[in-house]
Structure 1
């Protein structure tokens, strides 16, 4: 009867069974667990205590803690025995089941970054998960160490329990958030809105501004009231700027912006510095068939009509002017409402004549050139019809 009892007790716990117990002792390399309903105590090697790397058992368990684990092996002899247990395997199974449900329902998880390794980040997702560098963010990340200890919101990219492989993505979460922000912005933004954004990148034709999920373009001509040769003269990548919406194309997901329209116009203070009739220096900034545009101050350009360029007849402004040339101009008119200035180069230049003007002032007293009056004198007075 004794032998039959002992055999029945041993057979109560089999390899692969899930058992419960309480921590009785913590050693350097293992933990001793009293198994409920078992003949022997259980031993959990430190490598089987946690799904994460640990140095000592005290990091994860204390005396008296209740534990569930899988029986991986039963070792016994004639006098004693023990069960080899794995809490790690049980935790992994539970974690994989939970992660599979999250993956199936396309939900997110929260996981703490426990290690920064070459090529990415290791996180505690209930089991050891990995975020490859390419899936950390939509933005370029230079130093991954800033993520150590942070809790990240992640999407499951790949789940393979057979190969113990859990690949996670933070980039996907960011992309979905940006997509949602982009849709909301495009639906709510309107022409004339004034917004704040960040300079995302610069091209030779303008600057792209991140408005929070969608980029808008500020053409180089809309960067400043002043003439701009290159966008780098006005803005830098990462700079926060104020912009005004000029146009929205929701189907093409394009937004045209202006920085210039948010700045005070130079015409607002033109009366302080300029008056009709003033002669001021300027620079030719553009030539057209009908005249020349001359800048008389930053952001202030006026038109010299072709008829006001020269006293001589010209067929094209390029006959006498070139871009970048310094000139003197007279202000003919200022229209603040329309932001127009009429200028004249001709009125600053004294007209030259092609004859001797001294003849105009010569008196008719030359005796060598008598007039008819000198010749006939009184005879004309006596003549009657």
Structure 2
């Protein structure tokens, strides 16, 4: 039989028993009943209101219009009585508690994920991972040196967990290995796309005594000093500097060693080709003897062009070495017998020049010699008659 004689005290006791006992550290489900400037008023099943201060709602920036009356979420009890009979709870800390297990799995499985950088602190930056505050050392943000960490604030980066201690909630992230792997993959793809003989525009990244390194879209190649300029240079800084844009041609690719040889000299401006443009095989030209070798002499035809005058082509007389008939600096008239523009080789001859003297001129010279000889005979006979 139902007891209808309950007192007010008995009624209050029943209500008290129906209320959930709240302890500090408990995680409860909260329902938003009011949105205030100071925070959210929620019901967590207690006789007292549970207040979520705005700074305890989320690690991310949040606006009042982002929350609606009736929203539900988990909260962590921070204080069972703030002095005014209210309970203080935190949504973001509850999320962090719930996230511990998920984060531990991410750590054990070496999984990659994306976080947004929130702020710069001493030695690195701070990001949030499922409600937990995570630290990323400055040296671990990416695979290259970063001078100003502020450029990453507000940006998303792919990271992995490199240190995790759930007891003190220490969480350290790194994006370095991931960025390095991406860079290497991109470099390999770019390397495989480079075509020998093709021309590219690159940027000079580093100067060494033997040449300049040029970045052509993520891959570096070396331009040796001899391929930087048509003129002789002592150091690449004589013609380029770091940061310069340079048009280069791929000379060779060594895929096993991952090396690319580049050339920056414009073939069309090769002084040798420019200075031999008007030369033809069979042409007679003037030159200057500049060097002796056992097999012949090199004759300079212009500032950047030399030809070989073989010892057999110097004179009709038999000689064993060129200096028997020539001197350094001597000017000579030579005939071009070979003109190999592919290999930049010129063959010369002095003997063929002598053979090409006009026959009529030779006849005239012979007549002159005979005339002189006859005149000599006449004068000789006259002198003999005079002294008889």
TM-score class normalised by the smaller sequence = 0.5 to 0.7
Residues of 2 paired with 1:87 and 1:273: CA distance?
Answer: 87
Query: What SS does the corresponding residue of 1:21 show, helix, strand or coil?
Result: strand
CA, structure 1 residues 149+185, in 2 after alignment: closer, same or farther (shift >3 Å)? closer
Query: What SS does the corresponding residue of 1:11 show, helix, strand or coil?
Result: coil
8 Å contact from structure 1 (residues 247, 257) kept in 2: yes
CA, structure 1 residues 219+271, in 2 after alignment: closer, same or farther (shift >3 Å)? closer
Residues of 2 paired with 1:38 and 1:216: CA distance?
Answer: 71
Residues of 2 paired with 1:2 and 1:293: CA distance?
Answer: 124
Residues of 1 paired with 2:238 and 2:196: CA distance?
Answer: 27
Structure 1 stretch displaced more, 126-135 or 173-182 = 126-135
Query: What SS does the corresponding residue of 1:264 show, helix, strand or coil?
Result: helix
CA, structure 1 residues 147+249, in 2 after alignment: closer, same or farther (shift >3 Å)? same
TM-score, length of structure 2 as denominator length? 0.67
How far apart are 1:41 and its partner, in Å? Answer: 0.9
2:25 equivalent to 1:19: no
2:264 equivalent to 1:254: no
How far apart are 1:22 and its partner, in Å? Answer: 0.6
5+ residue gaps in structure 1?
322-326, 345-359, 378-385
Residues of 2 paired with 1:9 and 1:87: CA distance?
Answer: 24
* Correspondent of 1:35 among 36, 43, 58: 43
Query: What SS does the corresponding residue of 1:81 show, helix, strand or coil?
Result: coil
8 Å contact from structure 1 (residues 51, 92) kept in 2: no
2:174 equivalent to 1:169: yes
Task: Give the corresponding residue for 2:88.
Answer: 84
Within 5 A, what are the aligned runs for 1:211-226?
Answer: 211-226=216-231
Deviations 1:51-90 (A, max 9, x none): 35x7xx857965635443112342399xx83322122212
Deviations 1:197-221 (A, max 9, x none): 4333221111223344543222222
* Correspondent of 2:77 among 60, 66, 71: 71
How far apart are 1:175 and its partner, in Å? Answer: 0.9
Deviations 1:79-113 (A, max 9, x none): x8332212221222345445444445544333333
8 Å contact from structure 2 (residues 40, 54) kept in 1: no
Deviations 1:227-286 (A, max 9, x none): 2322123333233434333333333222333233x642525544557675555899x8x9
Structure 1 stretch displaced more, 96-105 or 30-39 = 96-105
Task: Give the corresponding residue for 2:165.
Answer: 160
Residues of 2 paired with 1:281 and 1:141: CA distance?
Answer: 60
Task: Give the corresponding residue for 1:264.
Answer: 268
Task: Give the corresponding residue for 1:148.
Answer: 153
* Correspondent of 2:141 among 136, 159, 178: 136
Query: What SS does the corresponding residue of 2:14 show, helix, strand or coil?
Result: helix
TM-score, length of structure 1 as denominator length? 0.67
Residues of 2 paired with 1:287 and 1:235: CA distance?
Answer: 36
Within 5 A, what are the aligned runs for 1:234-245?
Answer: 234-245=239-250
**C-alpha RMSD of the superposition:** 4.7
